[in-house]
Chains A and B, each alone.
Chain A
Amino acid sequence: MTVETLIALAACALVGIGLYALIAHPHPLRKLVGFNVLGSGVFMIFGALARRGAAAGMPADPVPQALLITAIVVAFAATAMTVALLLRLIESTGSSALATEPPSGDGDAL
């Protein structure tokens, strides 16, 4: 088995681990960490595909690698946006609950 296949298989497991945290973890911040783990697994599979595409004297296909750089930056922006939403949720309701029942707190209405 080649190294990139090995890494791609590990990345598949990362996707599973991240997905589980996203669904089952009760705290929203931990869901966000799970989401990032899921994303990094997807990126790693893509990176392994890029490595498989080595040709023309290049050690890996540069097109997927460039898209990965874009993806990492966009994932950071999405994470920052989610953290800001989460902090605002706690500031206005005093709880990080994502329950369907809206808390009847006196948080300032947006």
Chain B
Amino acid sequence: MMTTVVSLVVALLLLALALWTVVARDAFLAIAGFVAYGMLLSLVWVRLYGIDVALTEAAIGGGLTGALLLGAVARLRGTEAAAWSERSGIGLRTAAKLLSLGVTAVLMICVLALPEPAPTLAPLVADNMAATGVGNPITGVLLAFRSLDTMLEAIVLVIAVIGVWSLAPDDCWGGRPGQLHHADPDGVLAYLARLLPPIGIIFGIYLFWAGADHPGGKFQSATILAAMWMLVQMAGLADTPATANRWLRAGVVSGPLVFVAVGLLGLWTAGHFLGYPADWAKPMIIVVEVALLPTLVLVLALLMNGAPARSDRR
């Protein structure tokens, strides 16, 4: 009973924050609301027994997306007033309201009409977990049962980086993204950028390794490691890498390439693409995970850095 009341309050707060991100006049306040929304959302994931999802939501959905939007809103100052002036008419807004209410109503009817008992793949996962050698069912699904999805996702991330880089103006092609950060070398930012990375790196690697048997894994770990790298960049202790750097480019594609290679190896050893030979599942999963981690760290940080904006030519 108590937990139902708590869930109800959290759900209402979530709806109020979502409404706030729409109605707030000031874009900065709206996005601050969105960051709080992301954090509250991870509580809902805990309530839905998705601890791995909650960790991902807090790290990527709330944290990285929030930071990205806050960075964008700072650079978009001054375009807001013009945008409000071209606001669509009352007719279109009413039509949009009716459409949104209609979509919500149809979805609610579908939710209330869901079949009982609910279809589930959990027994199948439970029966086959032993074959994967990992203890966390989420990791088992991501790297064994549905590894094709994870492979395609890694490729999509690389395509996103190529997409962001291709937005560089002609004279900055292959250059460095963003501005060179100058922080006070004795300031608190530079201090934290020296103090936190060792702790963050150890915690990130722990989260990565624990993901085999407990909640955690490469995505959550990569977010923490990427955040540490960005902290060092923001404090001006290291510059953002030039996008023409061959080592950087090799790092971005290495993870997906290893994943595809393991998949092709499966064709030969297990008879089908992405198959693992019997008793070799765990080592293969570790190879893929270890290869994907650096790629994910690079991709997440590079997506946060944005398009090249400084020429690297001397």
Contacts and interface: CB of A to CB of B under 8 A. Distances in A.
Interface of A: 3-10, 12-21, 23-30, 32-34, 36-37, 40, 44-45, 47-63, 65-70, 72-81, 83-88, 90-92, 95-97, 99, 108
Given A14-B15, A17-B22, A67-B149, A72 B56 contact: yes
B30 A76 contact: no
Contact of B120 (A4, A61, A84): A61
B145 A63 contact: yes
- Interface majority SS on B: helix, strand, loop or mixed? helix
Given A19-B103, A25-B22, A61 B121 contact: yes
Nearest to A17: B18
B302 to A, nearest CB: 9
B112 to A, nearest CB: 7
Given A47-B50, A84-B164, A76 B64 contact: yes
A62 B122 contact: yes
Contacts of A30: 21-22, 27, 30
Interface residues of B, number: 97
A81 B167 CA distance: 9
A54 B303 contact: no
A76 B50 CA distance: 19
A17 B219 CA distance: 28
Contacts of A25: 22
Contacts of A40: 37-38, 41, 61
Contacts, number: 281
A30 B283 CA distance: 45
B99 A19 contact: yes
A79 B68 contact: yes
Given A47-B50, A55-B120, A96 B82 contact: yes
Contact of B83 (A49, A61, A96): A96
A40 B123 CA distance: 27
A44 B93 contact: no
Name the residue among B4, B45, B100, B156 with the largest chain A CB count within 10 angstroms: B100
A37 B37 contact: yes
B306 A84 contact: yes
A77 B4 CA distance: 34
Nearest to B116: A52
Interface in B141-188: 141-142, 145-146, 149-150, 153, 156-157, 160, 163-164, 167, 169-170
